[in-house]
A and B are shown apart, each in its own frame.
Chain A
C-alpha cells in the first residue's frame, strides 16, 4: 500500500487504519557489546571463524572447500523473488555477544541478553519447566544457553550448540555433516557451509523418545551481520524427537541476510517433527529493510518406516526462499510438509517442498496455504518425484491461496515427475479471496472487520496449525493476526 492508499483506507475505516501502522513487536535492539570480525568474506575470515570456534582441522578444510566451490557459483535467479544484488563483502560473517569466558550456566549469561529473550517470551530459565521446552537460543552467531541439558543427558540425548558438538561429538558431526545437504548443494547452502557460525545439534539415540520438545530461538541483533546457522538433527533407529524453531530480528533499514541450513537424518523407524515459526523482521510498509531469508532445509528418511514432518509458519522476512524437503529413501517412509506463508506489504515468499520418493510404499503429504495481502507476493514451488523403484508410492498435495488485495500475487508452481506406474500422485490447488458475503455474515453477528478476517484466515490455515505443538499454534495465530493488521481496508 502506498501512502495515498493508506489514507484512503483511513477515511473508509478509521479503526482499521489506526492499526495499519504495521507493528513489529520484536523490533528492539539489544545494546550489548558485540564481537565481530571485519566485514567481508575471504579465506582469512573463514580461518578466523574456525579458529574462534576452536574447530578441529577437518572442519576448517570442509569450510574452505565449500568457500572455493562457492566462488565458482552464481546466485540463482529462477525464483519469483526480486531484490537488489546482495553485497557479500558488506556483511559481518561473525557477530557474537562479548563474553569473557563461555558461560557454564544461566547465571553467567549476560543479564541484558536474558532480558532480550524475556522480551521475546522465550522460557529460557529452567523455572519454566512448566513450558516443558528445552531451548537453545542463538543470538546472532553464537548459541547462548541451552536449557534442560541435564535431563536430556540422562537419556543419552545430545542437544547442544553446534560449536560444542564439533568439540565433544566430532565423530557424529563428521559422519553426518553435509550428508543431507552437501556443501555443493546450492549457492546459499554452500555459503553457509563456508561461514556458518553456530546452530543446534541434536542426537537422539536408538529407541529413545525425546520426552520434551526441543527448541531453538534465533535472533539477529548486530547491524550488518548475516546469520548463518546450521542445524543437524539425527534420530537413530526407533528414536523420535520434536523440534521447534523460532526467529526474530530488530527493525533496521538495511536488509540482512540469513542463510541457514538444516539437515535431518531419520534412521530406521525414527521420527522427526520439525516446526518453524519464522518471524524475522519483514521490512516496513514500503519494503525498506527486512531479512533476506534464504534457507536450505532437507530431511533424509534413511531407514525403513522413517518419518519426517515439516511444519512451518512463515510470517516474517522481506524475502523467504525455502523448500524444506524429504528424501524418502527407506521403504514405507513418510514425509510431510505443512506450511502457512503470509506476505503483506512488500514481502515476497517463494516456498514449498520437494518429496523424493525412492523407497517402496513411501508416502508424502503436502498442505500449503499461502496468504497474500498488500503488495505481497507468495509462490508455492514444489516437486514430487517418484523414482522407478518407489512402488506404490503415494502423494497428495493441496495448495491453497488466499488473496487479500488487488495488488498482491499468488503463484503455484508444482512439478510432478512420476516414473513408477504403481504410484499415485494427486495435486490440487485453489485460489480464492475473502468473500464479501463471508465478511458481511460475521460482521452482522457483531464481529469487527479485523476479527472477522482473522477468523476466516485462521479457518483457512487450520489444517496446518493443528500440526503445530500447542504453544506454537497459539503463537502462530497471534502472529498471523499481527501480520495482517491493516491488510483489509
Chain B
C-alpha cells in the first residue's frame, strides 16, 4: 500500500470541513507510524507486511442484492462498508456517516480512539478513511431491541474502514450483534473501530461473529469505557478470515463497573486468528472475567493474548482469565499469553491457560457406548466450545448462533478417526 493509494481512498470519503480536517490529521499520524511490525511486541505473532504489498482501494460499488438469513431483531445491513437499507425500524440506530455532524457524534467520535493508550496505527487509518458505520445511541433509561449489524463484502481487493459508535446513557440497555461476511474466496481488508461509552448502570451485550471469507483480512478494535455500575458483556466467535486480529480494550473507570469478555476461536484451514484483550481496572470494586476456548486444526494458528491491569488504588478488583486451547493437527499452532499486571495488594486475580489435545480416554468412553469416532470427536469439540458460551444462556441468541457454530467446528478427518 503506497501513500498514494491511501490518499486516493481519503478522497473518496466525505464529511464536513471539520471532519475532513480530522481525517487529514489522522492520515498524517498513520504515515508517521506505518503499519505495526512484528518487532512491536503486541504484533509479534501477526505480521501485517502482506498489507504493505497489497494494492487495495476503497470500494467502488455500494451493495449488491444478497439473500440473507432471518435475524431475530432489527437488522442493519452494510454492503461493502455502506448501510444499504436506510429504512431501518430502530429509533436508536443510524448510519454514522449520516449523523457525522450531530452534536453527539462530534462529542464522542474519536474520544476513546484518541485517548486510550497503546492504540495502533490501524485506529488512525480508520479515523482517516472510515466510510460508514453504526451510531447506536440509547438515551437514559431506554432499552433497545436486539440489533443485528451485518457486514457483507462482495468486492475484491476492497479496503473497508468501518467506524461504529455506541453510546448508552445512564441505565440504558442494548443487545448488539455484529456479523462480518464475505463472498467465498474473496480477498479484501475489513478494518473496524468500535467505540463504546457506557454511562452509569448501562448494560450492553455484544456478540461478535467473524465469518469473513477465507482469503480476507480482518482487523477490529473495540474500545469500551465504563462508568459506575455499568456492565459490558461480549462474546466473540472468531472463525473467519485468512488473517484476523481482534483487539478489545476495556477501561473500568468507576466503581462497580464489570466486564465479561468471552469468546471462541476456531482456526481451521490456513486461518490465522489473533485475539488481544486488555482490561484496565482503574477504580476500586471493579470486576472482569475472560473465558476463552480455542481450537486450531489443519494449518491454522490461534493466538490468545490477554492482559489485565489493576491500577494503584483499584482495591477489591476481581479479575479472572481462563484460556483453554485444543491443538488438533501437527501443522497447527497455538500461542497463549495470559498476563496480569497488578499495582495494588487488595485484589483477587488469577488465570489459567492450557494447550492440549482431545483426551483419548474421553473418546474411548463415548466409543465404548456405541458412538462412532467422528461423532464422539464432534461431541467433545462442541462440549469444549460450550464452556465459553455461558453468556448466550439468557440472551435469546443461542438458537440463532447454533448453525454458525456448527459450521465453524472442524470437520472430521481421517487422522482422528483412525
Contacts and interface: CB of A to CB of B under 8 A. Distances in A.
Nearest to B352: A428
A418 B335 contact: yes
A189 B201 CA distance: 54
B202 to A, nearest CB: 29
Interface string A87-100: 00000000000000
B287 to A, nearest CB: 14
B97 to A, nearest CB: 41
A389 to B, nearest CB: 10
B328 interface: yes
Interface string B37-49: 0000100000000
User: Majority SS of interface residues in chain B?
Assistant: strand
A413 B327 contact: no
B340 A426 contact: no
Interface in A350-403: 386, 388, 401, 403
Interface in A397-449: 401, 403-433
Nearest to A419: B333
Contact of A418 (B41, B327, B348): B327
B40 to A, nearest CB: 11
B313 A421 contact: no
Contact of A414 (B329, B344, B353): B353
**Secondary structure at chain A's binding surface: helix, strand, loop or mixed?**
strand
A422 B357 CA distance: 6
B76 to A, nearest CB: 39
Given A429-B350, A430-B350, A431-B349, A409 B356 contact: no
Contact of B335 (A388, A406, A410, A416): A416
B346 A406 contact: yes
Chain A interface extent, by class: 35 or more
A406 B340 contact: no
B337 interface: yes
Nearest to B353: A427
A78 B41 contact: yes
Interface in A62-102: 78
B39 to A, nearest CB: 10
Contacts of B337: 413-416
Nearest to A386: B355
B338 interface: yes
Nearest to B317: A431
A371 B353 CA distance: 22
A431 B352 CA distance: 12
Contacts of A432: 348
Contacts of B170: none
Contacts of A420: 327, 330
A411 B341 contact: yes
B342 A431 contact: yes
Q: Please name the 7 residue pairs, one residue from A and one from B, whose CB atoms are nearest each other, closest first.
A: A403-B345, A416-B336, A431-B349, A421-B327, A427-B353, A433-B345, A418-B355
Given A401-B342, A405-B345, 18 more contacts: A401-B340, A412-B340, A412-B341, A412-B351, A413-B339, A416-B334, A418-B334, A418-B336, A419-B333, A421-B329, A421-B330, A424-B357, A425-B353, A426-B352, A428-B350, A429-B340, A430-B350, A431-B347
Interface of B: 41, 312-313, 315, 325, 327-357
Interface of A: 78, 386, 388, 401, 403-433
15 contacts: A405-B345, A406-B345, A409-B342, A410-B342, A414-B353, A415-B335, A416-B335, A418-B333, A419-B332, A419-B333, A420-B327, A423-B327, A428-B351, A429-B338, A429-B340
